Structure 1
């Protein structure tokens, strides 16, 4: 009876070891490697799609918060927009007029028509002096 027990135990362990080794060997064949790579790439693609969905969701919620803070969706003026608190209180925000318009004019730094052009490091006296 003892011998039968040890023979059955040895046969069972031998079959289990053989199955494990044949599975490991199958994974090392070209088909096994291709299957492993395919499964890994499939999982990577799924993870990237999930990541992109999370990024889009966070981006849209952040954009909505920024638009609400800037008052772009509601039509109201918030403190983040130009003239924020004053405009919200009914005050008129200053606009470019007069000297301010001349200062920001693209032609403000050009000489008047007919005046000689002066260069940056010109040491000649100007006609105005």
Structure 2
């Protein structure tokens, strides 16, 4: 019984190791490297796009604050009429 257990354990571990090594070897092929680089560039482009959106949004908020504080928004000196 023990021998059968260890035989099954060895076969299972051997199969897992072979599968893992096959995946690693596939990543090292030219196609695997190209896929990895392509995925990395896609992630980088997404990150740059998100950063640019955040900067643009903050820029518009700050510009509105500056316009309000300097009166360039058309509100400086404006007298509101009581109703």
Consecutive unaligned residues of structure 2, counting only runs of 5 or more, are 78-83
2:23 matches 1:10: no
Structure 1 gaps of 5+ residues are: 78-129
Q: Which structure would you say has the larger RCO, counting Cα contacts within 8 Å and 6 or more residues apart?
A: 2
Q: Hey, what does 1:123 align to over in structure 2?
A: none
- 1:76 is paired with a residue of what secondary structure? coil
Q: What residue in structure 2 maps to residue 41 of structure 1?
A: 41
Deviation at 1:52, TM superposition (A): 0.0
Question: TM-score, normalization: structure 2?
Answer: 0.89
- Over alpha carbons, which structure has the higher Rg? 1
What root-mean-square deviation, in Å, do the aligned CA atoms of Structure 1 and Structure 2 show?
A: 0.9
- Compare the two structures and name the one with the higher helix fraction: 2
Count of aligned residue pairs for this structure pair: 77
Q: Secondary structure at the match of 1:74?
A: coil
TM-score norm. by structure 1 comes to 0.58
Q: Deviations over 1:25-58 (max 9, x none)?
A: 0000001000000100000000000000000011
- In structure 2, what is the equivalent of residue 71 of structure 1? 71
